[in-house]
Structure 1
């Protein structure tokens, strides 16, 4: 961990930039299984992404890589005198975007996570995010991940625009924000699909609100009526019983 500590130990809390972690991140050799990379943008979608990923069983976010797992939730900074600041460290973003002991680490790690992505990739957005789902300013996805994707390695980018069960969608796959993202992907020759509340992800949003009207119906367009499914099952069982009696 010497390469990690030398990047920030002893420096002023805000006097750390992404490049300071380059040697550490490169030595850690971030690797992601093919078709498993999962990007996201905006803290308001983070919990959904974590739930969908199933702790790395379905997809991998940065915090499921080795260095991401070790550093996630760990706050640290130097004291400017060669040691560790044991009193207080700046909050997220307090030093400026992607600057400071913690934020600079995530910026550099995000870059290398993106470089390692291969095959099918996914990116999650909140449709109700103020300013639009996809943003180019002060965005880790835009400034460190999207720009570092390797077109030759990415076979498809699935864009998921999600709306919380309790909210109304403010943006969708045809919004200006998402079209800007599509244009960037086009310029990089990366093929993509865009989905508004895809069923497999929407199920995750319904876990805490299974009695909400939007979670009651699940058909081919978006969700199965629970009562209808139960009724059909009962009818099929009764028919099977009569059929069995007739043939015996």
Structure 2
């Protein structure tokens, strides 16, 4: 599936089944203002900075005005016009209705009972009529059946044929594929927004007073408070009640008015104590040099909860921050780079958060490592080796699943029972923790193939070429 940026409009409203519901439905999502403003700043500062400046408070006001002081059943699409105009921005090629261009994709469910292409559906009524054949070179239709079936409709049949006839009648070029796959038996393609592969390195260098790293993320406060309310209200309601403004204050106090190279792990303990919550049994997963794949796997399966999917990690992942001695506010001009000093604000945070996360692990845990890494697969200076592994003990952890994942293009440098992986296995034995080790775990391998469908290693049973 092609990589894409998600629209600001979609980010602002995602996960709200209805923001103002009928009288028999749930009420408006709590802390809606903070969530939407936070999502707005998160989008323009972190997700898609190319959008440019937006007045997120004004965007919220126009959104609220669309339904405030109105009968909930009498809110019209035109009431949201001002909101849409303020939030609108250029759309990437190959995506979305009026401004879509190039190759666009339509994914439909061939297992539903009320028609794969419902005539009264949102796509049929609002999006399809706005596709322009002077801008679109091809429409790709993917008809996907549920993994357990049934197969009710396919290309060229039923309502799918109705859609094909409409597209042909409007002189679009198109193709239709049933259960678009990777030539892997039984694989159902899942929509993914691919995430960047990054690592949490440990900084090792001397102190400086002029920093070369980027400054704190603009609107850091609004982003973090918004993420907090969003997490508690829509992502993980089981995390319990939390005071999001107070969490921000605890986080800020860890580095505010302090030398940005003298931040300790203990400085973050008040924040961790306030934000911490239980990790479901058997859902802890640790990683090194495989962050993007871990987050893809998490988003698709919902069977694991890495640190980045806890409230602690969710609030800060992908952000930058540090303080300065002369002001209680974050330093938005420059922060120490990873290698400029060891005890910088971000490095100390991830060390503290990782230790706290590992202490909460119980039951079966999973570890995903990179078998194609330039250095060792199990690096003795990684956060997993230095901090997290030491916190795992056989009183709480009953089993460890090791997954050694090679990059899609290889090389296959290390695998189970080989090199540094063998060292990790020996440590687990010494800790009396039972474990298994798998090379290129199939479910994760399928996710790697999403972006390189024709790669030879994406055939079952084959390894990347060394």
TM bucket (normalised to shorter chain) is: 0.7 to 0.9
| Partners of 1:127 and 1:179 in 2: CA distance | 12
Counterpart position of 2:367: 123
Is 1:25 equivalent to 2:272 in the alignment?
yes
2:314 pairs with one of 69, 94, 98 = 69
| Partners of 2:337 and 2:280 in 1: CA distance | 32
Q: Report how many aligned residue pairs link the two structures.
A: 215
Q: Using the TM superposition, give the Cα deviation of residue 55 of structure 1 relative to its aligned residue in structure 2, in angstroms.
A: 6.6
Change in CA separation of 1:46 and 1:159 when aligned onto 2, cut-off 3 Å: same
Contact 1:115 1:150 in 2 (8 A): no
What 5-or-longer segments of structure 1 have no aligned partner? 224-248
| Partners of 2:283 and 2:436 in 1: CA distance | 16
After superposition, give the CA deviation of every residue in 1:79-120 in whole Å (9 maximum; x if it has no partner): 112423121112334322xx2111111110100100111111
Contact 2:276 2:312 in 1 (8 A): no
Change in CA separation of 1:182 and 1:17 when aligned onto 2, cut-off 3 Å: same
2:352 pairs with one of 97, 104, 108 = 108
Change in CA separation of 1:93 and 1:121 when aligned onto 2, cut-off 3 Å: farther
Counterpart position of 2:412: 169
Q: Using the TM superposition, give the Cα deviation of residue 52 of structure 1 relative to its aligned residue in structure 2, in angstroms.
A: 1.0
Contact 2:272 2:353 in 1 (8 A): yes
Is 1:16 equivalent to 2:263 in the alignment?
yes
**Structure 1 range deviating more: 103-112 or 26-35:** 26-35
Greater relative contact order (CA < 8 Å, ≥ 6 in sequence): 1
| Partners of 2:300 and 2:347 in 1: CA distance | 22
Contact 1:52 1:204 in 2 (8 A): yes
Counterparts of 1:168-247 in structure 2, within 5 Å, are: 168-215=411-458, 217-218=459-460, 221=461
Is 1:79 equivalent to 2:324 in the alignment?
yes
**Structure 1 range deviating more: 74-83 or 53-62:** 53-62
Change in CA separation of 1:93 and 1:148 when aligned onto 2, cut-off 3 Å: farther
Counterpart position of 2:380: 136
Q: TM-score, normalised by structure 1?
A: 0.81
Q: TM-score, normalised by structure 2?
A: 0.44
| Partners of 1:146 and 1:56 in 2: CA distance | 24
Contact 1:37 1:118 in 2 (8 A): yes
Name the larger-Rg structure.
2
After superposition, give the CA deviation of every residue in 1:144-189 in whole Å (9 maximum; x if it has no partner): 2110113211111111111122113011112120111112111221
After superposition, give the CA deviation of every residue in 1:51-83 in whole Å (9 maximum; x if it has no partner): 111177121111110011011122111111242
